[in-house]
Amino acid sequence: MSDAGPLLEMRGIVKSFPGVQALRGVDLSLLAGEVLALLGENGAGKSTLMKVLGGAYHADEGTVTIGGRQTAIHSPQDSRSAGVAVIYQEFNLVPGLTAVENIFLGQEVTRAGFVAQKQERKRAAALFKRLGVEIDLDAPCRRLTTAQRQLVEIAKALAFDARIIVMDEPSAALTSHEVERLFEIIPDLKSQGIGIIYISHRLDEIFTIADRVTVLRDGKNVGERPISQIARNEMIELMVGRELKDEFPARSRRIGAPRLQVSGLRRGRAVRDVSFVVRRGEILALTGLVGAGRTETVRLIFGADPREAGEIRLDGIVLDIRSPQDAIAAGIGLLTEDRKLQGLVLGHSARENFGLPNLTWLSRRGFVQLGSEREHFARFVDQLRIKAPNQEQRAGNLSGGNQQKVVLAKWLARNCDVLMFDEPTRGIDVGAKYEIYLLMNELVLAGKSIVMISSELPEVLGMADRILVMHKGRVTGEIADARRATQEQIMQLAVA
């Protein structure tokens, strides 16, 4: 870490949106060769502050100084020219372009006025080799997995000769091996004098990689500490503004008879002869490495993808599920892994998103009863503590945690018997996570059944009653008592 002055100083940054003051005079500093962890609950202002630095937003007030020079940032080009590269939580890739084309988009390697494609491919291949992964350089990014697209974003940032790199939830879609590779690269970047701002809700990562911590709450800077001088509990208290003794609520279960029974489910090599049972009042965790077939399994149950074989029973009755509408009608709901792409219509209001799967009972003679829709949604806004200026706020303007709560609200309103949660707390802060965990416990106490897909092993061990582990489309093991399981036990089954 450098002993010189700050590489970056942001002073008195203010940013408001209609009905929301996102930043209230925030100060932040970053040294050359330092990893600064930027923490806070969803809606605390972290992403907004980084979008000001990245030129996506223009601050209402405040100054930005880079390398000792005050810098006016009015656009992403201004930010890039100042030596800032931002890896946003939302992918910033052109789906129809290849990995190589996305990496060099706007900074193409040219020769005599033409793009030097061979040179670009060579540089891209070297970047991915540095990351320790192999990516199909010719495949459009829309065909890549979520984890592969995240790696393209990281390679894109590394390709840009930046002095400051912002990583907003870079590990959210990565496997443990890929995260380890990222953590091997970061010290190399530090040694070159690059300053890194690292945003993550995974606190274990912060203690592994960060040199210093800055915490935002309600648009303000509420604390800064060297990582060696802050304990996990203190970090959480700064983030949520209250004491949070446990990350997972106490469990009390009344597990009953089998409810959802899946037998011989199959679709190509993604899902191969998967069978399991979920009982009334139970949380069954479905875990494994990225690409194990977990998401593909619940999509088959929900009718989002056609199954080649298999039987699905609910309370002993065979279901003929050919579409999501069939699953919803049977009392099965799915909270998708990608809430922005598959769970919400971001351009519509929170209220409209709530109403989408509930139009059959919210409509009369083909017209939505807006009064009834507002009344029912208001109950869930209170119950789930959804933070929004009003019901008409665009879903795309809500924080990640509040977007997830809107998705939860629309399925709770359906009163589904079986809820399948695919990465229910991805990109969500510890306070919002705790609220969702409490809700999950309340649902199973009321007799609901939950299938929870999670890549976070502490979450699996903290919330599940029973664990199924998948690898390459197959169930490789079952742990009947999750409370006695260990992370090592799960990982052995995950790589079987």
CA distance 337 to 368: 28
Backbone φ, ψ for residue 12 (5° rounding): 60, 40
Query: Which DSSP letter does residue 140 get?
Result: B
Q: How far apart are CA 404 and CA 387, in angstroms?
A: 11
Q: Is the whole model's pTM more than 0.75, yes or no? A: no
> Could you tell me which residue, 123 or 242, shows the higher pLDDT?
123
pLDDT confidence bin for 2, thresholds 50/70/90:
very low
pLDDT band at 96 (very low <50, low <70, confident <90, very high): very high
Task: Kindly tell me if the per-residue pLDDT of 425 is higher than 80.
Answer: yes
Cβ–Cβ contacts within 10 Å for residue 368, how many? 14
Query: Can you state the angle between helices 176-191 and 117-131, rounded to 10 degrees?
Result: 110
CA 219 to chain centre: 21
Does 350 or 401 have the greater pLDDT score?
350
Running DSSP on this structure, what letter comes out for residue 98?
A: B
Annotated domain spans of the chain: 8-240, 258-494
Assigned token pair, 485: 């399981």
Q: Is the pLDDT of residue 88 over 80?
A: no
Q: What average pLDDT score do residues 427-452 get?
A: 87
DSSP letters along 461-496, please?
HHH-SEEEEEETTEEEEEES-GGG--HHHHHHHHT-
What pLDDT does 434 receive? 84
Tokens 């494994």 found at = 288
Span 264-291, average pLDDT: 93
For residue 398, is pLDDT > 80? yes
Q: Give me the DSSP letters along 211-275.
A: SEEEEEETTEEEEEEEGGG--HHHHHHHHHSS----SS--------SEEEEEEEEEETTTEEEEE
Predicted pLDDT of residue 317: 96
From 415, 266, 425, 262, select the one nearest 335 (Cα to Cα).
Answer: 425
Radius of gyration of the chain (CA): 23
**Domain 8-240 architecture:** 3-Layer(aba) Sandwich (3.40)
**How far is Cα 279 from Cα 255, in angstroms, rounded to an integer?**
7
Rounded to whole angstroms, the Cα distance separating 175 from 160 reads: 24
Is the model's pLDDT at 318 over the cut of 90?
A: yes
Torsion of CA 133, 136, 140, 141, to 10 degrees: -10
Amino acid identity for residue 439 in this structure: L
- pLDDT band for 175, please (50, 70, 90 cuts): low
Burial of 391 (0-12, 13-18, 19+ CB in 10 A): middle
User: What do you get for the CA distance between the two ends of the chain, in Å?
Assistant: 41
Do residues 454 and 423 make contact, with C-beta atoms less than 8 angstroms apart?
A: yes
124 in Cβ contact with 84 (< 8 Å): no
Q: pLDDT band at 413, cuts 50/70/90?
A: confident
Portion of the chain with pLDDT greater than 90, in percent: 51
Q: How far is CA 131 from CA 134, 178, 222, 239, in A?
A: 9, 8, 35, 32
CA distance linking residue 257 with residue 234, whole number of Å: 42
pLDDT at 58 over 90: yes
Who has greater pLDDT, 74 or 201?
74
Measured distance CA(24)–CA(135) in Å, rounded: 42
Give counts: helices (H), strands (E), the chain. Answer: 17, 24
192 CB burial (10 A radius; 0-12, 13-18, 19+): exposed
- Residue 245's pLDDT band, with cuts at 50, 70 and 90, is low
Res 412: pLDDT: 85
The domain 258-494 is placed in CATH, from the list 1.10.3470.10, 3.40.50.300, 3.10.310.30, 3.40.50.970, at 3.40.50.300
Q: How confident is the model at residue 247 (pLDDT cuts 50, 70, 90)?
A: confident
For CA atoms 368, 369, 374, 380, the dihedral sign is negative
**Strand positions, DSSP E, 123-173:** 164-168
- Cα dihedral angle (276, 281, 283, 286), rounded to 10 degrees? 20
Q: If you average pLDDT over every residue of the chain, what do you get?
A: 88
What is the pLDDT, as a whole number, of residue 173?
65
What does the pLDDT read at residue 220? 94
Q: What is the pLDDT of residues 326-373, one digit of tens each?
A: 999 999 999 887 777 778 888 999 999 998 888 888 888 888 889 999
Q: What is the pLDDT of residue 232?
A: 87
Nearest to 68 by CA among 163, 144, 143: 163
Residue with tokens 């907003």: 168
Taking 80 as the threshold, does the pLDDT of residue 285 lie above it?
A: yes
pLDDT tens readout for residues 179-203: 787 888 889 889 889 999 999 888 8
Which has the closest alpha carbon to 283: 383, 421, 107?
421
Contact call for residues 94 and 161 (beta carbons, < 8 A): no
**In this structure, are residues 468 and 298 in contact, taking their beta carbons and an 8 Å threshold?**
no
Per-residue DSSP letters for 407-461? HHHHHHHTT-SEEEEESTTTT--HHHHHHHHHHHHHHHHTT-EEEEE-S-HHHHH
- Both structure tokens of 336: 């998708």
Evaluate whether 100 touches 120 at the Cβ level (below 8 Å): yes
Residue pair 14/59 in contact (Cβ under 8 Å)? The answer is: yes
Pick from 98-107, 180-189, 425-434, 483-492: least confident = 425-434
